[in-house]
Amino acid sequence: MANKPISMSKVRQIIKLYSQGIGKKKIGNRLCMSKNTVKHYLDTFYKLKTTAEDLAKLSDYELDKLFHPPHETLVNERVQQLYDYFPEMERQLRKRGVTVAMLYKKYKVEHPETYGESAFYHYYRLWKKRVNPSMHVEHKAGDKMYIDFAGATLPYVDTDTGEIKNAQVFVAILGWSQYAYVEAIPNQTIEEFIAACENALHFFDGVPLGIVPDNLKSAVFKASRYEPIVNENFKSFADHYGAAVLPTRSRKPKDKAHVENMVKIAYQNIYANIPERSILPLSELNEEIRKYLQILNNAQLTGKEYSRFDQWKMEKTLLQPLQETRYEMRKIKQVTVMKNGHVYLTEDQHYYSVPFELIGKKLNLQYSRSVVDIYHKYQVVATHKRLRSPHNYSTIATHMPPQHRYVTEWSPTFFMDQAKAIDPSVEYYISQVLAKKQHPEQAYKSCQGILSFSKRVGQARLIKACKRAHEIGYYNYKIIEDILKNNLDRYEEEPLVEPMPTHENIRGGNYYQ
């Protein structure tokens, strides 16, 4: 074909033979090419208005530029229409759950005369390469794990408090195999974040050489293009497993394109399949996520003959082994044992019991994501499962004094006597507060707070508040505080309706009977 490029050596031979007076047909036969191809290159030679001697001095690169000059691809009306649409399509693709396939179908409805799907994808790739060229990243097996949080949350029921909360969704992916892990966690605090990363490593059954996080505060204390400062706790976690922390550059999502894409896939394959009406506890929500995650990992990759799971089985052999013990991040606080035999963890607003002999002592409280240990002179005196239920108590029966009596001045009788001195209604209310707890000592702080209102707002208001709280059946400090704060104790009973006055011009109710 005349428009098919040939080597520069053959171009030189065409010009040389033609200069010797040999015809185009014979040149074609001698060089095994068509007469039209010879004619095409000789026409170009005439247009250059140069001599064979001058061309012989040029290098192959310079000669190629003369005979094969770069030319702009002709763009017809349909292609130009696509190119005009692609910038808007790029903006739409930033929205959660939107895909190129969805936008093509929408465009096809609006422009029925446009190209088919394959051509649409072809021109989109050409346009994207021209306006936004990107470097291809070559991933190595066992090299990196990319982590991020999805933007959208999932609702769940907190089993401790009964509240409906929003769970953050953690996403991790191995760079080479694209094997993915997804988990819903209560929040993005450093404790929950590290626990999710650790769960991902155990799910992958190995540790990559590097962990690539976004610049979220739980992972990176201070972002920098050249030398970011990694959060000390997260660095300690990575050191425990022998992995390096490699934060991405700020505002450079392509540095972690795999996990960004996995977030989109999670929206389409996991979020979309979780029933909206049924709000589950966090553990059950994660069971649902794992079910759809397994389907996703086992599904054949587009245009491939293997799945993420198949790839992971090969990559797993190149991952570092897991540590025998899990990483436990611990915080330390100094606390004082209250007269009810409990210490208070401010972060969770929760009370934990200690042996009653330690009342008034200063202890060290060490807590991780799951356990609370309480120390006295370097010795563990109490261990509790960590609970995040505000204003509640975790009490071990053996920590309580015999027969629920303290050696201090606080006791049920102590509070009942104070309440009786105010009013029988307050005495009854305090008795109910004490009765509602498994151990009366758990209610001592509530009783003290309730009775303190007699000095803060007066005995009359406290009496009315106790009566109103009794009417609605709530017995705790918080309800009394709310009643007084909102002046609900000041509302009197519905006033009696006064009889209508008699008058000769008023017919009265009997008139209508």
Label residue 191 exposed, middle or buried (CB < 10 Å: 0-12, 13-18, 19+): buried
Instruction: Read off the DSSP letter of residue 156.
Output: E
How high is the pLDDT of residue 322?
92
How high is the pLDDT of residue 2?
46
Pairing of strands 244-245, 210-212: parallel
- The count of other CB atoms within 10 Å of the CB of residue 392 is 15
Of 248, 257, 263, 227, the C-alpha closest to 149 is 263
How high is the pLDDT of residue 135?
46
How high is the pLDDT of residue 100?
86
**Chunked mean pLDDT (size 10), the chain, 513 residues:** 70 86 86 86 84 82 77 64 84 74 88 86 80 56 86 87 88 89 90 90 92 71 56 81 77 58 85 82 92 91 85 90 85 87 90 91 88 90 89 83 55 87 93 79 82 92 92 89 88 54 59 54
Task: Kindly state the tokens that stand for 326.
Answer: 């899990």
Q: Give the up-direction half-sphere exposure of residue 328: CA atoms within 13 A in the CB hemisphere.
A: 13
How high is the pLDDT of residue 131?
62
Q: Is the pTM of this model over 0.75?
A: no
Q: Give the up-direction half-sphere exposure of residue 435: CA atoms within 13 A in the CB hemisphere.
A: 9
Give Cβ neighbours of residue 50 (< 8 Å, ≥ 6 apart): none
> Phi/psi of residue 364, each to 5°?
-100, 125
Instruction: Report the C-alpha gap between 153 and 43 in whole angstroms.
Output: 68
Q: Where are the beta strands (DSSP E) in 79-231?
A: 144-149, 154-157, 164-174, 180-185, 210-212, 220-222, 229-230
**């590097």: which residue's tokens?**
210
How high is the pLDDT of residue 74?
46
Show the DSSP H helices in 184-254 as ranges: 190-204, 232-241
> Phi/psi of residue 376, each to 5°?
-130, 115
